[in-house]
Amino acid sequence: MYSIILVEDEPLQRRVLKKLIISINESVKIYEADSESTALDIIKNNDINMFLIDIHLKESSGLDLAIKIRSILKYEFRQMIFLTTNVNYITEAFKRTHCYDYIIKPYDYKVVQDMISKIILNETNNLNNKNNNLKEDEIIITLKKGSYLKIKTKDIIFIEVKGNNCEVNTTNGIYIANRMSLKKIMKLINCDYIIQSHRGFVVNINYICKIERLDGKLSMIYFDEYDRTAFLGDKFKDIIISEFRREKLIIC
């Protein structure tokens, strides 16, 4: 999700800008801060795509805040726009922080709308292109606090539903895909060797080493060199066992 932070100590000005941004794109996540300390706390604990910063803040200057933001590696080249009543401060801001542009108060609705909409459109297109250009054997999942993780499909051992999330067991560790259903993650993976074994599990056929029946409707799936197990439901038994036995020597 594309995200913007509004750093402005005047509540009315924040409301005006927030309303304007929502009119451009309702899906944008908007954070608000009225001081440098509040802004830095939000910025460090979330992933921000665009910064709208008032040059004059209560406890410090917006320029000082911008310099601190630029010192954070992942924000070195993110979009930054200053809000000001005086253009005399802008030259220094451009030199020291490489900001994208500035907005003069009081705001010209049309000018601001055009500026921000162009940035959001360009940035979201870039994000979509990045996902489309991923290799077919890779997926990106969203972790908690807005972090993203790229996982190779071949490294997935099995996936288990955990409430509203999915727990992805891989050869490199266990990761929680935040607010993602099993149906959605299977659509994202979209490969022949990772298939559903139970209403709460999908498994990688290539890692299965043993299938053990527990009762009439449930079996346990064991994996090569991995301690954790997955369930096999009666509904999915035939397809899983068929794939497991494929190209293997069967001794009866």
Q: CATH number for the 138-245 domain, one of 2.60.120.1030, 3.30.1360.30, 2.40.50.1020, 1.10.357.10?
A: 2.40.50.1020
**Comma-separated ranges of CATH 3.40.50.2300 domains in the chain:** 3-132
What is the structure's pLDDT at 135?
A: 52
pLDDT in tens, 89-114: 666 666 667 676 788 788 788 888 88
Structure tokens at 171: 């050869």
The per-residue b/e assignment along 221-243, b for 16 or more CB within 10 angstroms, e otherwise, is: bebeeeeebbbbbeebbeebeeb
Q: How do the residues of the chain divide into helix, strand and coil, expressed in percent and rounded to 5?
A: 40, 35, 25
What is the structure's pLDDT at 246?
A: 75
- What are 3's strand-pairing partners? 29
- Could you give the C-alpha distances from 122 to 2, 10, 77, 94, 117, in angstroms and in order? 11, 29, 15, 21, 8
Ramachandran quadrant class, 190 (left: phi over 0; alpha: psi -120 to 50; beta: rest): left
What's the longest Cα–Cα distance across the chain?
Answer: 86
In terms of Cα–Cα distance, which of 103, 54, 50, 40 is closest to 80?
50
| 245 SS3 class | helix
| 72 SS3 class | coil
- Strand blocks (E) in the chain: 3-7, 29-33, 50-54, 79-84, 101-104, 138-142, 148-152, 156-162, 165-170, 173-177, 194-198, 201-204, 208-213, 218-223, 226-233
Q: Which CATH architecture has domain 3-132?
A: 3-Layer(aba) Sandwich (3.40)
Structure tokens at 124: 């979201």
What is the structure's pLDDT at 250?
A: 46
Give per-10-residue mean pLDDT for the chain (252 aa).
90 90 85 93 92 85 88 87 75 66 80 84 63 64 79 95 94 91 89 93 95 91 94 93 70 42
Could you tell me how far CA 9 lies from the centroid of its own chain?
29
* DSSP tag of 28: -
| 178 SS3 class | coil
CA distance 115 to 157: 46
In terms of Cα–Cα distance, which of 152, 172, 161, 226 is closest to 197?
161
* DSSP tag of 146: G
In terms of Cα–Cα distance, which of 58, 68, 59 is closest to 97?
68
